[in-house]
Amino acid sequence: MSIKHTILVRDEQHLWFLEKGIPVFDILDWFSPQSISDKEGNSIKPGFPLLLITFETDLGWNFMSSIENGKFLISERSQSRPGTQQFLKEAGVKPGDQIQIEKINEFTFRLCKI
């Protein structure tokens, strides 16, 4: 059985923030410590490699990300690769809509507009 977390997009300012990164502080325990990175994109667990998380979207494409320690956001840092901003724009997310994060397994999650 999968577990799900829903985020209500409150207003335009909240949508702008979500485009920069989707917060996961409330569900941080869903993620492996090996998927949490420092500001430079390295694992915070000394001696262990950083393992990226795959986010499957309901738009037919995926992106990979780590969770930055201290910010606790899903965010693809490169503007040239798909990520949270592209997902929200292509899904047509606007204030009043909801997005959902579903845990499939330790390193795979589904991101969709509901």
In the chain, domain spans? 3-113
Assigned architecture for domain 3-113: Beta Barrel (2.40)
Q: At residue 64, does pLDDT exceed 80?
A: yes
Return d(Cα 49, Cα 27) in angstroms, integer. Answer: 22
Q: Which ranges of 48-108 does DSSP label H, i.e. alpha helix?
A: 84-90
Closest to 18 (Cα-Cα) out of 28, 10, 26: 10
pLDDT at 23: 93
Flag whether the pTM goes above 0.85.
yes
Closest to 18 (Cα-Cα) out of 4, 8, 30: 8
**pLDDT tens digits, residue range 91-109?**
999 999 999 999 999 999 9
Helix (H, G, I), strand (E, B) or coil at 66: coil
Q: At residue 79, does pLDDT exceed 70?
A: no
pLDDT at 77: 57
